[in-house]
Structure 1
Amino acid sequence: MDPVAALSEIAFHLERDRAPQFKVQAFRKAAATIGAWIPDELAARARDGRLKATKGIGASTFEVIRQALDGDVPGRLAKLRAEESSPLTDGGRALAAQIRGDLHSHSDWSDGTTPIPLMIDGAVGLGREYLALTDHSPNLTVAHGLTAERLTEQLEVVAELDHDAPALRLLTGIEVDILDDGSLDQTPELLDRLDVVVASIHSHLRADRATMTERMLGAVNHPRTSILGHCTGRLVEGSRGTRPPSEFDAERVFAACAENDVAVEINARPERQDPPDDLIATALAAGCLFSIDSDAHAPGQLALLDYGIERAAANGVPAERIITTWPVERLLEWTGR
């Protein structure tokens, strides 16, 4: 087995399982280190002891490489493959077969953990037809949000990578902060250049109901907003602890989403499960469109989309109202409306 592929697949499984980042990075760094060598050089380094002494190669990663060089599936990888499970029921699997893309993902340009090409590889491996890169906007400094200058630079990089990735359409995008006054945290000129704009609240989540409602309405009424991201901001589990949902007038906000043709995100991350089931029902009744998104910050987290797919299926969301089931041409016609 190719050692780089083995290390990368182990990292992917660990990311999907939300393992601690230091464990994931051990395998990502080892893959990057040995990927610079031709196979004969790697084999020679493994034989003469230089590989074991190489910075970035630990005992676990060395054993994976050694077993792969011997032509075996490394034991660590075989175990992860055997333990892999899916949240999908029959209804979820039927909907999953109709999903074409993912419109919310992050790279190491903001608070993601890997370069954009690795996110592309992860999406291609999962059979996605398109992926939107939606790194954070500048207000979210803790997430290294993109200034206008950095986003402009990223657009050029995305154009090149999209050209070089025929198996997947890489879409330009942003997860833009909804500011306190309801405006969007990026210049209008740059928002006009993007394929997808996910508008989300990341600050002052405990503001009163009226304030949150007006803030969200400001973003939903903005002509460049495509998707209302993780609308309650809640956390129900995970390493960051828990956080109660924000309070807002869901009927007014979702009515505005339907009127402005803004999709409500079903955020697939298990720690978010956002919106809650009752708000999905409210959005359905309001006539909203939906976008099932992974909010992935690493390649393996793209596979978490299944959790959102299962929740959509369980709540009776019709496939035709889920924009991530649409072909990319229809999607881009809609986002560019």
Structure 2
Amino acid sequence: MDATDALNEIAFRLERDRAPQFKVQAFRRAADTVGVWSPAELRVRAGDGRLKATKGIGASTLEVIRQSLDGDVPDRLQKLRDAQTSPLSDAGRALAELVRGDLHSHSDWSDGTTRIPLMVDAAVSLGREYLALTDHSPHLTVAHGLTAERLTEQLDVVAGLDEATDGLRLLSGIEVDILDDGALDQTPELLDRLDVVVASIHSHLRADRRTMTERMLGAITDRHTSILGHCTGRLVEGSRGTRPPSEFDAERVFAACAENGVAVEINARPERQDPPDELIAVALAAGCFFSIDSDAHAPGQLGLLDYGIERAAQNQVPAERIITTWPVEQLLEWVRSNR
């Protein structure tokens, strides 16, 4: 087995299992280190001791490399493969067969952990037909949000990767902050250039119900907004602790989503599970469309999409009302028609 492939797959599987980031990065750094050498050169370095002394290669990654060079599937990788589980029920598996894409992901341009090509490769390996890159907007400085200049630069990178990638459309996008007054945190001219705009609230989440409602309505009625991201902002588990959901008038907010052609995101991250089940029911009754998204900040986290798919299935969301089941041209036409 190719050593670089083995190291990257281990990193991917650890991310999907939500392992601590330092463990993931050990394998990804090792993959980057050995990826510059041919198999023959790597074998020589492993044999003469230079590999063991190489910065970024530790005991665990060295063992993976040696077993790969012997032609074996490394023990560490085989254990991760054998331990793989799925959250999908029969209904979830049926829906998963229909899901084509993912419209919310991040790279190291903002607060993701890896370069865009690694996110693209992971999406291809998972069989996605399209992936939207939606790095953060400038107001979210803690996440290294993209200024207008950096987003403009990224658009050229995305276009180049989209053209060079077979079997997957890489869509341009942004997770744009909803500011306190309901405005979107990027220029209208740049938002016009994007395929997908996910609008989310990341600050002042404990504002009162009326304030939050008006703030969300401001973003929903902006013609650029395609998707309302993780609408309650809650956290139910995970390393960041827990956080209660924001309070807002769900009937008004979801009615506005239905009227303005804004999909409600079913955020697949297990620590979010957002919206809660009772709000999915309100959005269904309002006639909303939905977007099941991974909100991935690392390649392996793209695999967390199954958690959102299962929640949609359990809440009996019809597949035809999930925009990520649509072919990419239908999706893009829907976005354009709502602008």
TM-score norm. by structure 1 comes to: 1.00
Question: Counterparts of 2:299 and 2:336 in 1: how far apart (Å)?
Answer: 27
Question: Counterparts of 1:54 and 1:298 in 2: how far apart (Å)?
Answer: 25
Tell me, what secondary structure is at the counterpart of 1:189?
helix
Cα deviation for residue 176 of structure 1 reads 0.1
Question: Counterparts of 1:96 and 1:252 in 2: how far apart (Å)?
Answer: 30
The one-character-per-residue Cα deviations of 1:217-245 (angstroms, maximum 9, x if unpaired) are: 00000000000000000000000000000
The one-character-per-residue Cα deviations of 1:242-300 (angstroms, maximum 9, x if unpaired) are: 00000000000000000001000000000000000000000000000000000000000
Cα deviation for residue 97 of structure 1 reads 0.1
Cα deviation for residue 304 of structure 1 reads 0.2
Tell me, what secondary structure is at the counterpart of 2:198?
strand
Tell me, what secondary structure is at the counterpart of 2:283?
helix
Question: Counterparts of 2:19 and 2:166 in 1: how far apart (Å)?
Answer: 31
Amino acid at match of 1:198: V
Residue aligning to 2:77: 77
Alignment of 1:239 onto 2:239? yes
Amino acid at match of 1:301: Q
Cα deviation for residue 129 of structure 1 reads 0.2
Residue aligning to 2:137: 137
Alignment of 1:61 onto 2:57? no
Amino acid at match of 1:166: D
Cα deviation for residue 39 of structure 1 reads 1.0
1:224-263 paired onto structure 2 within 5 Å:
224-263=224-263
Question: Counterparts of 2:261 and 2:313 in 1: how far apart (Å)?
Answer: 21
Tell me, what secondary structure is at the counterpart of 1:242?
coil
The one-character-per-residue Cα deviations of 1:138-189 (angstroms, maximum 9, x if unpaired) are: 0000000000000000000000010110121000000000000000000000
The one-character-per-residue Cα deviations of 1:77-125 (angstroms, maximum 9, x if unpaired) are: 0000000000000000000000000000000000000000000010000
Residue aligning to 1:112: 112
Cα deviation for residue 335 of structure 1 reads 1.1
Question: Counterparts of 2:24 and 2:162 in 1: how far apart (Å)?
Answer: 26
Runs of 4+ in 1 over 6 A off after TM superposition: none
Alignment of 1:27 onto 2:24? no
Amino acid at match of 2:150: R
1:143-162 paired onto structure 2 within 5 Å:
143-162=143-162
The one-character-per-residue Cα deviations of 1:307-327 (angstroms, maximum 9, x if unpaired) are: 000000000000000000000
Tell me, what secondary structure is at the counterpart of 1:184?
coil
Amino acid at match of 1:118: L
Alignment of 1:315 onto 2:315? yes
Amino acid at match of 1:282: V
Question: Counterparts of 2:287 and 2:216 in 1: how far apart (Å)?
Answer: 18
Amino acid at match of 1:242: T
Tell me, what secondary structure is at the counterpart of 2:146?
coil
Same amino acid, percent of matched pairs: 83
1:1-337 paired onto structure 2 within 5 Å:
1-337=1-337
Tell me, what secondary structure is at the counterpart of 1:336?
helix
Cα deviation for residue 60 of structure 1 reads 0.3
Q: Which runs of 5+ in 1 are unaligned?
A: none
Amino acid at match of 1:305: L
Tell me, what secondary structure is at the counterpart of 1:198?
strand
Question: Counterparts of 1:111 and 1:15 in 2: how far apart (Å)?
Answer: 15
The one-character-per-residue Cα deviations of 1:172-213 (angstroms, maximum 9, x if unpaired) are: 000000000000000000000000000000000000000000
Amino acid at match of 1:104: H
Amino acid at match of 2:9: E
Aligned-CA RMSD value: 0.3
Question: Counterparts of 1:146 and 1:189 in 2: how far apart (Å)?
Answer: 15
TM-score norm. by structure 2 comes to: 0.99
Amino acid at match of 2:132: A
Question: Counterparts of 1:250 and 1:26 in 2: how far apart (Å)?
Answer: 43
Amino acid at match of 2:62: F
Q: Which runs of 5+ in 2 are unaligned?
A: none
Tell me, what secondary structure is at the counterpart of 1:274?
coil
Question: Counterparts of 1:18 and 1:109 in 2: how far apart (Å)?
Answer: 21
The one-character-per-residue Cα deviations of 1:8-38 (angstroms, maximum 9, x if unpaired) are: 0000000001111110000000001100011
